[in-house]
Amino acid sequence: MNTAAHFSYWITIFVAIAGLYIVIARGNLMKKLVGLAIFQTSVYLLYIAPGKLIGGTAPIVAEQFRIYSNPLPHVLILTAIVVGVATLALGLALVVRIREAYGSIEEDEILEQDETHSTDITSKQA
Partner 1 sequence: MIASHLPVLQVILPLIAAPVMVLARRGAIAWLLALIVSWAGLFISVALLARVADGSVISYAIGNWPPPWGIEYRIDRVNAFLLTLVSLIAAVVVVYSRLSVAAEVPREQQYLFYALYSLCLAGLLGITSTGDAFNLFVFLEISSLSSYVLIALGRDRRALVAAYQYLIMGTIGATFIVIGVGLLYLMTGTLNMADMAVRLRGVSEVRPVLAALAFLTVGICLKLALFPLHLWLPNAYAYAPSAVTALLAATATKVSVYVLLRFYYSVFGESVVFSALPMGQVLLVLSLAAAFVASTVAIFQHDLKRMFAYSSVAQIGYITLGLSFDSATGLTAGIVHLFNHALTKGALFMLLGGIALRLGGVRFEHIGGIARVMPLTSFGIVLGGLSLIGVPATVGFISKWNLILAALESGAWWIAFAIVLSSLLAVVYVWRFVEAAYFREPGAAVAKIKEAPLEMLIPAWLMIAACIYFGLDTTLTVGSAAQAAATLLQGTR
Q: Report the nearest approach of partner 1 to the CB of residue 50 (Å).
A: 6
Amino acid identity, position 101: A
Is the torsion defined by CA of 56, 60, 61, 62 positive or negative?
A: negative
Q: Given the rule CB under 8 A, which residues bind partner 1?
A: 16, 20, 23, 29, 32-33, 36, 39-40, 43, 46-47, 50, 73, 76, 79-80, 83, 86-87, 90-91, 94-95, 97-98, 101-102, 110, 114, 118, 121-122, 125-126
Q: Report the nearest approach of partner 1 to the CB of residue 65 (Å).
A: 21
- Cα(114)–Cα(126) distance, integer angstroms: 17
What backbone torsions phi and psi does residue 65 show, to the nearest 5 degrees?
A: -110, 135
- Pick between residue 63 and residue 115 the one whose CB is nearest to partner 1: 115
3-state secondary structure of 17: helix
- Pick between residue 11 and residue 20 the one whose CB is nearest to partner 1: 20
